[in-house]
Amino acid sequence: MTEPALVVRSLCKNYGGFAVTRNVDLELPRGARHALIGPNGAGKTTLVGLISGAIAANSGTIELFGRDITTVSAAQRVKQGLVRTFQVNSLFPHLSVFQNIFLACSEARGTSQRMLGRTSGQKPIIGQVEAILDMLGLSADAGRPVATIAYGRQRLVELGIALALEPRVLLLDEPAAGVPSVEVPLLIHAIDRLGEDITILLIEHDMQIVQRFARTMTVLAEGQVIASGAPDVVMASEQVRSVYLGKSGHQRFESGKAHA
């Protein structure tokens, strides 16, 4: 019963001779709040793609609650509770906010097979959608086409779709990217309120969000895990500092400290 939620072992992905993911190991216990950070091009989004099944790995294994899902299709992984959000919005632009989330609820519960009966008559699902809209503060925008609402709020819809799929493991790929700073608290608040039974892997650049969210973290650079553990320990590591900030950045960082 206590097997970890997600285990990644020796995962590799090459594009031709170029290794994007090199021997990545990752283990998330149930209910984890794990952050994945790394400089641009470290292979973070590729890793999310591999775990979610959008990209096929060259070697290595992925286990979800003890079951090997390495060769399972992306759609089937969703059915098994492994859900991701996207860094760049990938929504249904001309459908309303309500309909976007309804679609996800409807697929998760198998209602999308129903050809008889109006959409407005699906009371249990409508209730579920309304609860999600309420939680994310989207109720006021429910009837508007997604393409017409602010980008930051579209990110919330993205999160809403993920939640509608009843995730057990949630991969959040830079949820705050492109969100105006005034709307970031809304997003953080929403993530804070996610149930403890959901295991979360967060990819994020914004260190403030990471610090607030993460209980454990992993640093990725050039496709490799260079450090993993509690945030203070990881961030204190010399190697992480030099890789994450770059050689010159590190020097600036140090000299900044010296001047202070």
Partner 1 sequence: MSVDRAFYNAAERNRFGLLEILFWLCPIAAFFLFPTSLSFATHVLIMALFAMSLGLILSFAGIVTLGHAAFFGLGAYVTALLSLAGYQEPITATFLGGAAAAVLALVIGPLLLRLTGLPLMMVTLALGAVMFEAANKLGWLTGGENGLGDLRYQPVFGIFRWSIYGQTAYFYTLAWLFVLFLLTRSLVASPFGLALQGIRENPLRMNLIGAPVTGHLVRVYTISAFIAGIAGALSAQATGFVGLDVLSVDLSINALVMLVLGGVGNIYGGLVGGALYIVLRNLASDWNPYHWMFVIGAFLVVVVLLGQNGVIGIVERLTSLISGQRKETSP
For position 148 contacting partner 1 by CB under 8 A, the verdict is yes
Q: Is residue 79 involved in binding partner 1 (CB under 8 A)? A: yes
User: Which residue, among 249, 216, 243, has the nearest Cα to 38 in the 3D structure?
Assistant: 243
Q: Among 34, 37, 98, 243, indicate the residue that binds partner 1 (CB under 8 A).
A: 98
Instruction: Choose which of 31, 41, 66, 93 interacts with partner 1 (CB under 8 A).
Output: 93
Near partner 1 in 155-174, by CB under 8 A: 161, 165
233: tokens are: 């320990």
Only segment of 32-40, 95-103, 174-182, 210-218 that touches partner 1 (CB under 8 A) = 95-103
* Under rule CB under 8 A, residue 237 binds partner 1: no
Does 107 help bind partner 1 (rule: CB under 8 A)?
yes
Is residue 174 within 8 A of residue 191, CB to CB? The reply is no
Nearer CB in complex with partner 1: 120/181: 120
Nearer to partner 1, 67 or 212 (CB): 67
Query: With binding defined as CB under 8 A, does residue 102 bind partner 1?
Result: yes
Query: Which parts of this chain interact with partner 1 (CB under 8 A)?
Result: 52, 54, 74-76, 78-79, 84, 90-96, 98-99, 102-104, 106-108, 111-120, 122, 125-126, 142-143, 145, 147-148, 161, 165
